[in-house]
Every structure is written in structure tokens, then in C-alpha cells.
Amino acid sequence: MEYQELYDKLSARLDALASKARIDDREPIEAVLEKNGISRRDFMKWAAGTTAALSLPLSFAPLVAQAAELAAGRIPVVWLHMAECTGCSESLLRSDAPTIDSLIFDYISLEYHETVMAASGWQAEANLEEAIKKYKNSYILMVEGGIPAGNSEFYLTVGPHGKKGAEHAREAAANAMAIFAIGTCSSFGGVQAARPNPTNAKPLHKITGKPVINVPGCPPSEKNIVGNVLHFILFGTLPALDSYNRPKWAYGLRIHDLCERRGHFDAGEFVQQFGDEGAKNGYCLYKVGCKGPYTFNNCSRERFNQHTSWPVQAGHGCIGCSEPDFWDVMGPFEEPLASKPFSSIDADATADKIGVAILTVTAIGMAAHAAISAFKKAE
């Protein structure tokens, strides 16, 4: 599709969304940004950066800005917590000067989010049930955390009914318009599922049996979380996904491909041990365990903590936190994987090729076309 044709299509979609009645009566996002000292110019700069992050042409920035404005008040979001550390929510919410991403997230119509809502106990449970009923087939479901499964479901119970986490997830997924697994735990099981996986924790798609877009990372960056919401608002369909159902715009390249220390890797300049001269000179961290060559994510580009830094910039190698089973297959974290089969993967491998290689460790069988048709139906 030509860019102009795509632009017109997305623009018509946003206009249709704008003509829908708002589901709440809060002030417009523009006013919220202004109150936080963010000018229109800053906002448009942010839109341009987000457009690039989403791999769209720069001329689409006004559409991304419009999607961000519409994210509030028109698309309800239900966010469930399962077994995890809440780091994914913290990634967005805990900044001393909120970024535009975190303000937008704060401002989207979070109908239910256990960390940030005021309600608790029976009231919280009633809010969840009501939101699921009221916004049937029109809400986005985001789930954080791995989910104890099978005979171990009772290891996670939530709320005053003592409902199992898996039941909560299945009920909320049944009528969602789109489902996102936020974080490595929800995408792949994460730390809960590390050997010996005492609670039999499973990823969201295995519990719900539904198409799920995985947004892994322990935690994922705020850009990857908010970017996925905006992408969905813009397109109303699945983004291009890799073999682990991760959006390619965010997870299409390896940490190693985008790393600022890559020149040192290519020149054979390595940190031999933490604190040595090489470390002071910012040399490559491969020999002290960096798993950037095996990990697909955009951390060096998007960074964390208000976009200030990321693990490798801070002086520690990537530990592969957005890959399936990283606790089991990426360790030891401070030694190279030299003796593991991964080391035979050639340096120019694409996400899909690596995915196929790692599929021998964990099989996630989910056909993208099935997922797309399900989304189209829900639209």
C-alpha cells in the first residue's frame, strides 16, 4: 500500500474514533500535558520520535499525535496483575518527572488496574466485573505476570472471592478487543516459570488460548507499552510479529545490532572483568556475560528511566530479559554463553531465524493469521 493510501486509511479510522462519544468526562490530554509543563512543540517532538519508533514514515507524526489524544477517553483498558513484581507498571509510573508516555498511560481510560486504582476488596472486584460487561468486545486487556496453571492454579488467588488468577485472566480475555501480555512473565512465564517452576506458571496465551501480542522485557520500556496501544489505535489490527508474537517494530533487531559499544566488539576491545581499564573506557561487555547478541529488543534506542539509560550504558551486560526462559537459558549472567548452542547462531540472523532456533527450547505455536482474523472480527 502506498504511504498516502495508508495515511488516508489511518486518518479515516481516527476520525471515526473521534466521532465516538467519550467514555469519561476528564479534561483533554492537551491540558494535562500543559499542566505538567509539556508544550505543544514538545508533544509534537515526542510524536515524531514515537512515529520513528513504530517504524512509520515521519509524515505520519500528526496521526500518532492524534492517536495519543484519542487514547484517553475512548478506549477502555483493563490491566490485570498475576504472579510478578509489578515492575512493568513501575516502568511506566515511577518517574519523578513523568514523561509523555507515562502521562498518556496514566490518562488512558484505565477501567481497572490494581496498582493505581483507589478501590479495593469487593468494590474492586465489582468494578472489574462491570467493566468487562459494559465494554464487552471493545476494551483492551493488558496482563502482567505469569499464571499458575492446571492443578497449581490455586497458588494465585485474587480478590475477596478468592478467584484464581487463571480464572480472572480467562474471563477478562473472553470479551476483549485486543490482548497484550505485558512483560516477560506474561509473555513467556518469566521468573515464576524458571526451573523448577514450583507453581507451574504459564504465559497468558497458554491460559486463555487466545491470540496475544507479547510485549516482553523484565520490565518492558514505557515506549514499548504505550507504542503498542498507539499502534493498535492507529491500525486496529495486529502489528507485524516475530515467531514469538513480539511486534517487529520493537523486537525486530538484536540489542547487539543497536548497541553503542558495538564498535568495540568489532574491534575486539572487551571488558575482561568489571572495574578494569576496559570497563572505564566503555569497551564491549560480551566477555563479562552480555547476552545482547541473542536478545531482541530496542533498549539502546528507547532506554529506561525517562529515557536516560539502559543496562549496557550503565555498565552491565544485557541478561536477555525479553527472551523466553531467559532465567534458565541465558545464565550464568556474567559469563559468555560460549559453551551453549546459541553461540553457533550467525551474526546476521534475523529475529525469525533466531526464533526458530530457540523454538527447540520452548515451542510457542500460534499462527499469526489466526490472530489477525480474530482481531479483525473484534473490530
Site of interaction with ligand FSX (CB under 6 A): 84-88, 144-145, 183-186, 190-191, 218-219
User: Is residue 67 near ligand F3S by the rule CB under 6 A?
Assistant: no
The site partner of 261 among ligand F3S, ligand SF4, ligand FSX, none (C-beta below 5 to 8 Å per kind) is ligand SF4
- Whose Cβ is closer to ligand SF4: residue 312's or residue 351's? 312
Q: How near is the Cβ of 242 to ligand SF4 at its closest, in Å? A: 19
Q: Which residue in the shown chain puts its C-beta closest to ligand SF4?
A: 292
Give a three-class secondary structure readout of the chain: CCHHHHHHHHHHHHHHHHCCCCCCCCCCHHHHHHHCCCCHHHHHHHHHHHHHHCCCCHHHHHHHHHHHHHHHHHCEEEEEECECCCHHHHHHHCCCCCCHHHHHHHHCEEEEECCCCCCCHHHHHHHHHHHHHHCCCCCEEEEECEEECHHHHHHCEECCCCEEHHHHHHHHHHCCCEEEEECHHHHHCHHHHCCCCCCCEECHHHHHCCCCEEECCCCCCHHHHHHHHHHHHHHCCCCCECCCCCEHHHHCCEHHHHCCCHHHHHCCCECCCCCCHHHHCCCECHHHCCCHHHCECCHHHHCECCCCECHHHHCCCCCCCCCCCHHHHCCCCCCCCCCCHHHHCCCCCCHHHHHHHHCCCCCCCCCHHHHHHHHHHHC
Q: Which of 255, 319, 351, 354 binds ligand SF4 (CB under 6 A)?
A: 255
The site partner of 311 among ligand SF4, ligand F3S, ligand FSX, none (C-beta below 5 to 8 Å per kind) is ligand F3S
Q: Which of 319, 329, 337, 366 binds ligand F3S (CB under 6 A)?
A: 319
Q: How near is the Cβ of 185 to ligand FSX at its closest, in Å? A: 3
Total length of the chain: 379
Map the footprint of ligand F3S across residues 201-220, applying CB under 6 A: 217
The site partner of 322 among ligand FSX, ligand F3S, ligand SF4, none (C-beta below 5 to 8 Å per kind) is ligand F3S
User: Is residue 311 near ligand F3S by the rule CB under 6 A?
Assistant: yes
The site partner of 85 among ligand F3S, ligand SF4, ligand FSX, none (C-beta below 5 to 8 Å per kind) is ligand FSX
User: Is residue 265 near ligand SF4 by the rule CB under 6 A?
Assistant: yes
Closest-CA residue to 357 (of 367, 371, 346, 368):
346
User: Is residue 310 near ligand F3S by the rule CB under 6 A?
Assistant: yes
Q: Which residue in the shown chain puts its C-beta closest to ligand F3S?
A: 318
Map the footprint of ligand F3S across residues 215-274, applying CB under 6 A: 217, 255
User: Is residue 293 near ligand SF4 by the rule CB under 6 A?
Assistant: yes
Q: Which residue in the shown chain puts its C-beta closest to ligand FSX?
A: 87
User: Is residue 321 near ligand F3S by the rule CB under 6 A?
Assistant: yes
Residue 304 burial (CB count, 10 A): 20
Can you give the binding site for ligand F3S, defined by CB under 6 A?
Answer: 217, 255, 295, 297, 299, 310-312, 318-319, 321-322
Can you give the binding site for ligand SF4, defined by CB under 6 A?
Answer: 255-256, 259, 261-262, 265, 284-286, 290, 292-293, 312, 317-318
